[in-house]
Amino acid sequence: MTDQSPQPASPPRLTHIREDGSAQMVDVSDKAVTKRTATAEAYFVSRSDVIAQVIAGDLPKGEALGTARVAGIMAAKRTWELVPMCHPLPISKVTVDFEAQGDRVRVIASVTTKGVTGVEMEALTAASVAALTLYDMTKAVDKHAEITGVRVLAKSGGKSGDWAIDGVN
């Protein structure tokens, strides 16, 4: 009698890994050019009085939100230099926005391109570096601040189409 139980499906082959297990940059030359967007978030967490200073632009190092916005935009444009397997992309637009939420600031970064690969890494990098900049700007007043919740919220374009976390537009 032969075993008729279903065999587990083999995991999908990762395109950044060669047959010998070493890393490679994916060849995207045959992919279609489409408009692609991605949105990511990160949270800068501190005491509520420090968040009030951030929002008011009243920190010893100066106005943090504007500085963090520029840092996030610059970081998105340089993601390919920071993350080894990312392709350099012709970024069309980057936005970095902030929402104060009690003891935290939500950083929301969106990136758009018209190209052959997505911009999720660029959005994650923008959100992360903006949050890191808030940390840098506030560390003199709160050494216990944290960065948390870095994640992709949504993406559109490309072969896999549109995707969003449930409840996120």
Residues assigned a catalytic role: 136
Residues whose CB is less than 8 angstroms from the CB of residue 85 and which lie 6 or more positions away in sequence, other chains included: 16, 23, 24, 25, 26
- The residue whose two tokens read 């960065």 is 147
**Token duo for residue 37:** 């967007």
Q: Are 60 and 136 in contact (CB under 8 A)?
A: no
Closest CA to 117 of 79, 153, 84, 88: 88
- Spatial separation of the C-alpha atoms in residues 52 and 58, rounded to whole Å: 8
Apex 138 CA angle, 134 and 139, nearest 5: 115
Q: What is the DSSP string of 125-152?
A: HHHHHHHHHHHHHHTTT-TT-EEEEEEE
